[in-house]
Amino acid sequence: MKPTLCLLHAFPLSSEMFAGQRAALADVADVVTPDLPGFGRTVPHSPSTIDGMAAAVVAALGNRRPVILGGVSMGGYVALAAARMFPDRFAGLVLIDTKAEPDDDAARAGRDRNIALVNDRGVPALVEAMLPKLLGDTTRRDRPAVVEQVRRLALAQSDEGVIAGLEALRDRRDARPSLAGIRVPTLLLFGAEDTLTPPSQGEALAAALDGELDILSGAGHLPNLEVPDAFNAALRAWLQRQ
Whether 200 shows a pLDDT value over 90: the answer reads yes
Q: Which amino acid is at 94?
A: V
Using one digit for the tens of pLDDT, what is the confidence trace for 38-48? 999 887 666 78
Domain membership of residue 24 as a residue range: 4-241
Rg (CA), the chain: 16
Instruction: Give the per-residue pLDDT at 128.
Output: 96
Q: 63 φ, ψ to 5°?
A: -95, 10
At residue 177, the 3 state secondary structure works out as helix
Q: What are the angstrom distances between the C-alpha of 147 and each of 58, 138, 190? A: 31, 11, 18
Nearest Cα to 68, choosing from 35, 97, 94? 94
pTM for the whole structure: 0.97
Percent of the chain with pLDDT over 70: 99
24: domain CATH number is 3.40.50.1820
Per the structure, the count of domains in the chain is 1
Using one digit for the tens of pLDDT, what is the confidence trace for 106-138? 999 999 999 999 999 999 999 999 999 999 999
Q: Are 199 and 192 in contact (CB under 8 A)?
A: yes
Helix (H) or strand (E) segment spanning residue 170:
helix 159-170
